[in-house]
Amino acid sequence: MKASEKEQKTETKRRIFIFGMFTLIFLFILGAVYIRCRETIVLLLLMLTPGLSALAARLLTGEGKKDAFIRPYFRRNKGWYVAIWIITPFLAFMGAAFYFLVFPKDFQPLSSLCAQDSGSKTIAEYIGYLAATLPLAVLVNPVMGLVQCLGEEAGWRGYLLPKLLDFMEPWKAVLLTGVIWGAWHAPVIACGFNYGTGHPVAGIGAMVLFCTVLGFIQGWLFFRTGTVWSCVVFHAALNGMDLFSPSMLFTDGQVNPFLGPDPTGILGGIFLIGLAAAALWDIGWKGNAVNMPA
């Protein structure tokens, strides 16, 4: 190894360490606050911290904005953005449909929280309500999460992932980034987010697996488009479903969150898992997905 290459790797390790240190500090502080108050605003602030940690690392090491991957390259990537925006919730709802094929008794739309809030008394009324509101929600809800998702993706995919590429193959870097990203959610998951309060350890493990699956998709998108914005749109499209999740739309809430129907469950997320497997194959076995202009 040449001296210059060794020095570069040493500097990259230092930058990763600083990024990780700030990320953990923010997590400990805001995680403790969330455990006490359970306010959504704390989660929104927490989502910004990976990006802030990356910014701190850049400033402290003199890295500047080099290789930040925040240019959207909108002209060449606009087709990607539209496809991601639409296909992501489609795959999630396809997963929900698969879940209900396996567990048809869980399909209780008129007993759902959404049906009760809408005042729908018949299936026809509820279908009409969903037809009027769901398409708009799919299009509009992700917009509200773009800034927060940029905060996460600027840190995980825009900073950590490219740094790890100095030390390992792309698929391994994507895998490790996904695992770290999932573990980062631990305090929030332990409080019952996504998987309920009854099984915090299993919930954390499930979240790590879920983020690893999503991480392969987002890593592939990042490599293909050369920007974190493809990952931001994917993240926002998925997070936007929190306001109209399949469990809120079609069940009475008495479901096993580790199975579905939401995409965080193994059956609800089955099509995302399939997409992640294809992404892994393209990155790891085919080896032709890496394309990262600065």
Mind listing the pLDDT tens digit for each residue in 228-251?
Answer: 999 999 999 999 998 889 999 999
> Is the pLDDT higher at 286 or at 190?
190
Q: How far is CA 113 from CA 2, 96, 116, 246, in A?
A: 62, 16, 5, 10
Rounded Cα distance, 80 and 204, in Å: 31
Q: How far is CA 48 from CA 54, 135, 146, 227, 251, in A?
A: 10, 28, 11, 18, 32
- Work out the angle between the directed axes of helices 200-225 and 229-239 (0-180°, nearest 10): 140
Label residue 103 by pLDDT band (50, 70, 90).
very high
Q: Which of 78-92, 130-144, 145-159 has the lowest mean pLDDT?
A: 130-144
Q: Can you give the pLDDT at residue 294? A: 45
| Average pLDDT, rounded, for the chain | 93
Mind listing the pLDDT tens digit for each residue in 169-207?
Answer: 999 999 999 999 999 999 999 999 999 988 899 999 999
Residue-wise burial string across 167-205, b where 16 or more C-beta atoms lie within 10 A, e elsewhere: eeebbebbbbbbebbbebbbbbbbeebbbeeebbeebbb
Listing DSSP states for 232-246 in one string gives HHHHHHHHGGGGS-H
What is the pTM assigned to this prediction?
0.93
Instruction: Say yes or no to pLDDT of 8 above 70.
Output: yes
